[in-house]
């Protein structure tokens, strides 16, 4: 054997092309910057690691040690009988439905554990075990109490009196915590849905009992050798998803509003350019606002500001990534520094003195990136730690929340003087109006005399607003960062569809300038532009974080209640979308949207192609049961037009399609007259 005389030359890893990876300039700049510094990011890793083709089809089963069993669809499809089966005989439909149901269960558990944490903190508030949290929105508490069968008034000597707020709080807190594990009955919030929808759920036997129970039952039924009927599995996936949207997520949203205040529209900036070179930069990332609410206060405290100045900083700049960002944006106007795919880039600026993470959507690679800079990466949640040695764990406890927050902020301030020379903050930021809730939409688009949401309904009926779209969800490194979100949203508003947005989609919309009233004149069709200009709102309304998708359910219910657009959510000219989804949470959200009557289109792909029969069940049969159905379309323009076609179908069914034609005719007439 001839010995090699030279060592093999290591091939340089393939890198992402920044312009192909994102449509957003600061992201492009920072990807290039990372490559210059030799630091890999998710964008590069997406180039070198391709997804598994069998997993993509949704038909890999590893639910027992006889597998993994993989049942790829043969090229050219199935001719004749589908004989594919795993070792136990599980069919492609069973495997695909089990995988789908487990995604729903994972997503539900994430939102619901978040909701549980909030409910337990609220219980501590009600029991006066913490002084750091209070009740900031008593009206919301009184509004939700009846759903938990908690009385808000008492009879004293034959007179009806208001009940003490503390008593109401304790009743609501105990009932909310019980929703996760109660024995008997169904979830309290189901009665908030339109009556016909409640009846459908009852008839189908999918009313969730207790939140944890539905997750456990999915895990049991999808285990080896249990439920082997994809329709029956889908039923449980539905029940579990409803325990998310009308359960855990809704409890999280409501009790956060009670403790931290319901959002009202406010102005803020967005994008990596919100970081300041001469300030201490603290970034919060994840989902739960319990600690970040305290960090907001700690960053604004005079003592910490003085301390920062003593270290040579001009102040403390707090910003956020992902849904923790949305939480503190909607209540305090704290700017988001970026979406999910920008998390590594925020550290690569070299100016992030501390990144504080809680739960969900946090890259483990943040620890490797932080190692290249002075950044303190701080985990705070007992269920979400990192193995790397440079990560600091400061466990957050609601009983001494403010102390924890001060400790973290002081650590960031001390770290300011440790910055290296490698600071590069991209100079891109935008202005946005964020923080619309069900109540503020009522204020802006409601009517004083003719009932809630009347103005919105009136404008849908007269055709100025063609319909409503909920555009939500993540970024996905398999698609071009923000392109699908922004192209889709622009196409919708161009066609007079008003957009309600949450999660990273909402942050993307803010970064790309769509969350301002001024965006109406630039991007909207004439009808929607006229409404936005008249009432002074953006055509894209920021409704908060991922758990706040429950706000979209309630806003849709308010539209039904206001009248004139049918009796149920499925009657509305409305559609849902997650164009760049990546998280299991998105599947849970999609399933509760569909099961609440919403036509829901996902971008990128759905892991269903390997089981065409099960896929068809989700894409067509579910509509016959709940009025909503799944769809998938990666092309954002076609995606928008599928939603618009559905909206138009609903307008026709409601008999309001002619009104829209008249509006368009009026516009054309005006243009012909040179008035536009
Ligand atoms: Fe294979 Fe059945 Fe085991 Fe799944 S449960 S890995 S299909 S034998
Ligand atoms: S943070 S779940 S990437 S929206 Fe809610 Fe963004 Fe999706 Fe995480």
Domain-located, residue 627:
yes
pLDDT of residue 398: 83
CATH number at residue 193: 1.20.1270.30
User: Does 231 fall in a domain?
Assistant: yes
Rounded distance, CA 427 to CA 393, Å?
32
The answer to whether residue 10 is domain-embedded is: no
329 in a domain, yes or no? yes
Residue 672 lies inside a defined structural domain of this protein: no
Distance of alpha carbon 234 from its chain centroid, rounded?
22
Whether the predicted pLDDT of 451 surpasses 60:
no
Q: Is 530 helix (H, G, I), strand (E, B) or coil?
A: helix
Residue 676 lies in a domain: no
Q: Which of 220, 237, 260 is the last residue of a domain?
A: 260
Q: Same domain for 284 and 244?
A: no
Task: Indicate which CATH number applies to the domain containing 313.
Answer: 3.40.50.2030
Residue-wise pLDDT for 591-604, tens only, equals 999 999 999 999 99
CB 42 less than 6 A from any atom of ligand 2: no
- Do 569 and 635 lie in one domain? The reply is yes
Which residue has tokens 């008492």?
Answer: 154
Round to whole Å and give the CA distance between 605 and 632: 6
User: Is residue 49 one of the residues assigned to a domain?
Assistant: no
Q: Where does ligand 1 bind, in terms of residues with CB under 6 Å?
A: 61-64, 66-69, 86-88, 90, 95, 224
| pLDDT surpasses 80 at 158 | yes
Whether 514 and 581 share a structural domain: yes
Task: Give a yes or no: residue 365 inside a domain.
Answer: yes
Q: How many CA atoms lie within 13 A of 214 on its CB side?
A: 36
Confidence check: pLDDT of 674 > 50? no
Instruction: Quote the pLDDT of residue 473.
Output: 97
Reduce the DSSP state of residue 581 to 3 states and report it: coil
Q: Which residue among 358, 385, 416 closes a domain? A: 416
Percent of the chain with pLDDT over 90: 90
Query: Which listed ligand is nearest to 222 at the C-alpha?
Result: 1
Name the token pair of 431.
């202005």
Query: In this structure, are 396 and 505 located in the same domain?
Result: no
How many Å apart are CA 447 and CA 378, to the nearest integer?
47
Both 214 and 280 in one domain: the answer is no
Tokens in use for 152?
């808000």
Question: Taking residues 502-524, what's their average pLDDT?
Answer: 98
DSSP class per residue in 243-279: HIIIIIHHHHHHHHHHHH-----EEEEESGGGS-TTS
CA 59 – ligand 1 centroid, Å: 11
Instruction: Say how many Å lie between the CA of residue 55 and the centre of ligand 1.
Output: 15
Q: Answer yes or no: do 256 and 302 share one domain.
A: no
Q: Are 47 and 16 in contact (CB under 8 A)?
A: yes
Per-residue pLDDT at 673 exceeds 60:
no
Does residue 234 share a domain with residue 285? no
Within this chain, do residues 153 and 221 fall inside the same structural domain, yes or no? yes
Residue in 503, 552, 578 to alter for ligand 2 test, most ligand atoms within 8 A of Cβ = 503
Give the ligand at the shortest distance from the Cα of 110: 2
Measured in whole angstroms, the distance separating CA 426 from the mean position of its chain's CA atoms is 26
**Domain tally, the chain:** 3
Domain that holds residue 181: 92-260
- Centre of ligand 2 from the C-alpha of residue 27, in Å: 17
Residue 230: strand, helix, or coil: helix
**Residue at which a domain ends, from 260, 287, 316:** 260
pLDDT in tens, 165-188: 999 999 999 999 999 999 999 999
For 183-206, what is the mean pLDDT? 98
Same domain membership, residue 238 and residue 338: no
Query: Both 234 and 316 in a single domain?
Result: no
110 and 198 share one domain: yes
Q: Taking Cα atoms as reference points, which of 381, 361, 135 lies closest to residue 261?
A: 135
- How far is ligand 2, taken at its centre, from the CA of residue 99, in Å? 20
- Per residue in 255-267, pLDDT (tens digit) is 999 999 999 999 9
Asked if 464 and 499 sit in the same domain, the reply is yes
Global pTM reads 0.95
Q: Are strands 60-61 and 69-70 parallel, antiparallel or unpaired?
A: antiparallel
């Amino acid at each position: 054997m001839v010995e090699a005389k030279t060592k093999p030359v290591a091939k340089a890893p393939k890198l992402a092309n920044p312009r192909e990876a994102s449509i957003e300039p600061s992201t492009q700049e920072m990807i290039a910057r990372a490559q210059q510094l030799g630091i890999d990011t998710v964008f590069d890793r997406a180039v070198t690691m391709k997804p598994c083709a069998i997993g993509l089809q949704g038909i890999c089963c590893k639910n027992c040690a006889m597998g993994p069993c993989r049942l790829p669809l043969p090229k050219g499809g199935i001719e004749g009988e589908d004989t594919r089966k795993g070792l136990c005989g599980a069919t492609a439909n069973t495997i695909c439905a089990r995988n789908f149901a487990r995604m729903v269960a994972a997503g539900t558990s994430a939102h619901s554990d978040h909701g549980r944490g909030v409910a337990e903190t609220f219980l501590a508030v009600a029991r006066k075990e913490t002084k750091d949290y209070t009740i900031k929105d008593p009206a919301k508490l009184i509004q939700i109490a009846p759903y938990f069968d908690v009385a808000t008034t008492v009879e004293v000597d034959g007179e009806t009196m208001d009940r003490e707020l503390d008593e109401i709080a304790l009743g609501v807190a105990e009932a909310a915590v019980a929703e996760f594990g109660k024995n008997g009955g169904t979830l309290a919030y189901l009665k908030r849905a339109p009556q016909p929808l409640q009846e459908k759920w009852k008839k189908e036997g999918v009313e969730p009992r207790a939140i944890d129970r539905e997750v456990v039952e999915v895990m049991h039924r999808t285990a080896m050798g249990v439920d082997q009927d994809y329709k029956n599995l889908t039923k449980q996936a539905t029940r579990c998803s409803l325990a998310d949207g009308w359960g855990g997520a809704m409890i999280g949203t409501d009790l956060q509003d009670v403790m931290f205040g319901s959002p009202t529209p406010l102005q803020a900036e967005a994008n990596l350019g919100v970081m300041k070179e001469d300030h201490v930069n603290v970034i919060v990332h994840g989902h739960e606002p319990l600690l970040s609410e305290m960090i907001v206060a700690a960053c604004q405290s005079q003592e910490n500001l003085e301390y920062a100045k003593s270290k040579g900083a001009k102040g403390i700049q707090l910003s956020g990534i992902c849904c923790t960002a949305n939480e503190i944006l909607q209540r305090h106007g704290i700017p988001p520094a970026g979406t999910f795919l920008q998390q590594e880039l925020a550290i690569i600026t070299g100016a992030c003195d501390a990144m504080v993470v809680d739960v969900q959507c946090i890259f483990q690679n943040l620890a490797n990136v932080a190692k290249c800079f002075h950044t303190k990466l701080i985990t705070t949640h007992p269920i979400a730690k990192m193995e790397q040695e440079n990560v600091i764990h400061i466990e957050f406890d609601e009983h001494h929340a403010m102390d924890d927050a001060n400790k973290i902020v002081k650590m960031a301030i001390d770290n300011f003087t440790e910055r290296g020379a490698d600071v590069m903050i991209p100079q891109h930021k935008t202005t946005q109006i964020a923080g619309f809730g069900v109540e503020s939409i009522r204020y802006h688009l409601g009517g004083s005399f003719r009932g809630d949401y009347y103005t919105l309904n009136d404008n849908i009926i007269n055709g100025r607003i063609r319909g409503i779209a909920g555009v939500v969800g993540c970024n996905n490194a398999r698609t071009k960062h923000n392109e699908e979100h922004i192209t889709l949203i622009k196409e919708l508003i161009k066609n007079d569809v008003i957009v309600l947005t949450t999660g990273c989609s909402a942050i993307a919309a803010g970064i790309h300038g769509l969350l301002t009233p001024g965006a109406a004149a630039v991007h909207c069709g004439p009808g929607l532009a006229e409404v936005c200009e008249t009432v002074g709102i953006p055509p894209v309304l920021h409704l908060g974080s991922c758990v706040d998708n429950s706000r979209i359910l309630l806003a849709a219910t308010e539209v039904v209640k206001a009248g004139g657009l049918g009796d149920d959510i499925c009657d509305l000219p409305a559609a849902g979308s997650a164009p760049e989804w990546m998280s299991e949470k998105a599947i849970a959200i999609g399933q509760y949207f569909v099961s609440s009557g919403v036509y829901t289109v996902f971008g990128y792909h759905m892991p269903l192609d390997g089981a065409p029969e099960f896929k068809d069940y989700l894409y067509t049969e579910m509509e016959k049961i709940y009025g909503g159905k799944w769809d998938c379309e990666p092309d954002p323009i076609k995606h928008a037009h599928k939603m618009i076609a559905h909206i138009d179908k609903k307008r026709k069914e409601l008999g309001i399609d002619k009104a829209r034609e008249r509006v368009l005719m009026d516009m054309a007439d005006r243009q012909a007259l040179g008035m536009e």
